[in-house]
Copies of this chain bind each other. A is one copy, B any other.
Amino acid sequence: MKFYENGDALTEPFGFFCSGVHCDIKGARNGKLDLGIIYSQKPCNAAGVFTTNDVQAAPVTYSKKLISDSNSLFHAIVANSGNANACTGKQGEKDAKKMASEVARHLNIHSNEVLVCSTGRIGVSLPISRLTTGIRDAAEDIIDECDGARAFQEAILTSDTCTKSCSAKVECSRGEITIGGVVKGAGMIEPNMATMLAFLTTDIQASNIELQELLSNAVEQSFNRITIDGDMSTNDTVLFLANGNSGVDLKKESKSVQKNFAEAVNAVCACLARKCVTDGEKVTKFVKVIINGAKNNESALKVARCIANSLLVKSSWYGSDPNWGRIVDAAGYAKIGLSFNQIDMLYNDIPVLIQGVPLIENKTTWKEIVSSDEFSIILNLNMGEATGEIWSNDLSEEYVNFNKSE
């Protein structure tokens, strides 16, 4: 597998067109791009993973229903930033439909062949007339070159500080197949997804069912492992389109190519998820919390999440304080029955606790590790063989300042 960080990922697979325009969704007249389209002339098979929040935005309900039909094919995705079209009642449902039908009208496809995503402020109806103008412009602008991919990437950003993308290429029987992916993240990122939109394109031929299995597995090991502030949004969506333009059919390929392709999907999702965490709102550190020796995966993840979401732990990371006491305390309130006297703990490869006894002589090294931009915390609970991993970050004063009002 060849892997490329950043770049113009969505248009890398053959036959995908993109665009991004400014239609002033926030009414801020700041010129920022806020609406984008992904398009393939050849109809695409598709898969999607959506927020599990009880409160789901209109575009989530809309797109989820279309994706749930395993025979459905799609030509386009339309996405906007600045307004989530969430908690907007009947009007919101109408608006999501309208977005799809406007895209369909301009691209001469069927309205059911368009998926819809929104991100941004909750509880305010979309400025639909500005959106329809934007859709017209975006439909005119689509192009299968880097400029289009770049514009789309920009159009979906909210409080992100940068665009986030990557791509992978896998050798197969008839040359190469490509997967491209982009993500927007920032605040409200939690395990089980968040105000996070991710889009993957590929030129392989695969059924909706095959794609869904690949995507669900990849999401489970990537987007569902990250946490920024413990909040999960109403709009989280990951969509995966496959147009078959490479002429390669996944199910006719060898086991080894199939495996490589699955790994490439995993790698793209993992890279995007990681980019989300490091671009979290006002984040200064990337921290992997790795739990080993748990009785089962569920309890390993529970412990990892308690640590990764603890305000006291995250505040201490921000202050570069190797405060293992807070970490152990957070592990304890996961209440999976762990015993402190059995815990081994490391910062990277430097022991902190052996069977609950602190190795104070390593304290200077702990401090050095926790002072760096990126480190791992590894706990061995010595209760079994299961493991779990969560990717997190620190909590800064700037986070609170940034989020105290919209």
Contacts and interface: CB of A to CB of B under 8 A. Distances in A.
Interface in A309-344: 309-312, 315-316, 318-321, 323-326, 328-341
A52 B335 contact: yes
- Interface range on chain A (Cβ under 8 Å from partner): 35 or more
Contacts of A190: 333
Contact of A401 (B337, B397, B403): B397
Contact of A87 (B122, B325, B336): B325
Contacts of A336: 54
A89 interface: yes
A319 B404 contact: yes
Contacts of A335: 52-54
Interface string A177-190: 00000000001101
A400 to B, nearest CB: 5
A332 B281 CA distance: 22
Contact of A312 (B55, B231, B319, B320): B231
Contacts of A315: 399-400, 403-404
Nearest to A125: B358
A369 to B, nearest CB: 15
Given A54-B339, A55-B332, A404 B234 contact: no
Q: How many copies does the complex hold?
A: 2
Contacts of A84: 325
B403 A400 contact: no
A89 B339 contact: no
Contacts of A400: 315, 318, 395-397, 399-400
Interface in A369-405: 395-401, 403-405
B86 A325 contact: yes
A89 B357 contact: yes
A403 B87 contact: no
A187 B326 CA distance: 11
A54 B334 contact: yes
B311 A234 contact: no
Contacts of A398: 397
B121 A234 contact: no
A329 B404 contact: no
A235 to B, nearest CB: 9
A76 B66 CA distance: 68
A400 B338 CA distance: 28
A82 interface: no
A11 interface: no
B230 A332 contact: no
A406 interface: yes
A123 interface: yes
A406 B312 CA distance: 10
Interface in A143-177: none
Interface of A: 52-56, 84, 86-87, 89, 121-123, 187-188, 190, 192, 229-234, 309-312, 315-316, 318-321, 323-326, 328-341, 356-358, 395-401, 403-406
22 contacts: A52-B335, A53-B335, A54-B335, A54-B336, A55-B328, A55-B338, A55-B340, A86-B329, A87-B325, A87-B328, A121-B325, A187-B312, A188-B312, A230-B310, A231-B330, A312-B403, A316-B405, A318-B400, A321-B405, A321-B406, A395-B400, A397-B397
